[in-house]
């Protein structure tokens, strides 16, 4: 018990005793699903954003799910669940900034859920001629409500989404008809 107190004394900042917040766990490579299951058995809320992949072989087609971000699982915990989370097999560490745990805003978790197709919002769509570097918002589909910048143009557009807290950028191909200019929205 004394060792647990030393660990909790070193952890400061965004881990609070009476409020649950989202944190990112770094896991052993290809053990994300195992960690999510193990945390759920302990009663800890864990989220692993998964995307569907399809591989075509000569004699068969195989469908499977892979993590959107390798080696990361997201947990919704308070201070009492910190040590049990760390003691879970294949959990390496929490995402930290210096020595402090880094809480992930709910908005970024909802963004990950939309990317993975676990959450959907609906907006109206209208066509507009976009230019490279323009800030846009997705108005239809799994990514509805997501904001980013146009990186390249073509029949489809490359769209960049920033997850600022965990320091990732996701580049996604998306149909231009599903986008709305943010500057038009602000001028209206």
φ and ψ at 77, to 5 degrees? -135, 165
Distance CA 166, CA 176 (A): 27
Indicate the pLDDT class of residue 123, thresholds 50, 70 and 90.
Answer: very low
Distance CA 10, CA 17 (A): 14
Domain shared by 7 and 74, yes or no? yes
Count Cβ atoms within 10 A of the Cβ of residue 144 and give its class: 0-12 exposed, 13-18 middle, 19 or more buried. Answer: middle
Within-domain flag for 122: no
Which residue range forms the structural domain that includes residue 36? 2-104
Task: Tell me what the mean pLDDT of segment 107-135 comes to.
Answer: 70
Domain shared by 100 and 140, yes or no? no
State the pTM of this model.
0.66
Count how many Cα atoms sit within 13 Å of the Cα of residue 129 in the half-sphere of its side chain.
0
Q: What is the pLDDT of residues 124-162, one digit of tens each?
A: 445 556 777 778 777 776 667 777 777 766 555 556 655
More confident: 160 or 25: 25
Domain shared by 154 and 95, yes or no? no
Total domain count, the chain:
2
Q: Which ranges in 23-149 belong to alpha helices (H)?
A: 32-41, 82-86, 106-116
8 Å CB contact between 145 and 121: yes
Domain shared by 72 and 13, yes or no? yes
Within-domain flag for 130: no
């Amino acid at each position: 018990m004394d060792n647990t107190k030393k660990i909790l004394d070193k952890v400061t900042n965004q881990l609070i005793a009476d409020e649950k917040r989202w944190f990112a766990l770094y896991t052993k490579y290809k053990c994300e699903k195992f960690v999510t299951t193990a945390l759920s058995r302990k009663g800890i809320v864990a989220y692993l954003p998964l995307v569907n992949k399809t591989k075509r072989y000569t004699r068969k087609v195989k469908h499977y799910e892979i993590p959107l971000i390798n080696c990361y699982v997201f947990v919704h915990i308070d201070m009492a669940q910190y040590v049990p989370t760390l003691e879970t097999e294949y959990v390496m560490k929490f995402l930290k900034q210096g020595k402090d745990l880094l809480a992930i805003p709910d908005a970024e978790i909802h963004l990950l859920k939309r990317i993975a197709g676990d959450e959907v919002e609906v907006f109206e769509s209208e066509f507009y001629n976009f230019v490279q570097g323009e800030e846009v918002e997705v108005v239809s589909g799994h990514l509805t409500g997501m904001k980013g910048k146009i990186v390249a143009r073509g029949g489809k557009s490359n769209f960049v989404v920033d997850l600022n807290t965990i320091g990732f950028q996701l580049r996604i191909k998306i149909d231009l008809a599903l986008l709305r200019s943010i500057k038009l929205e602000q001028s209206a």
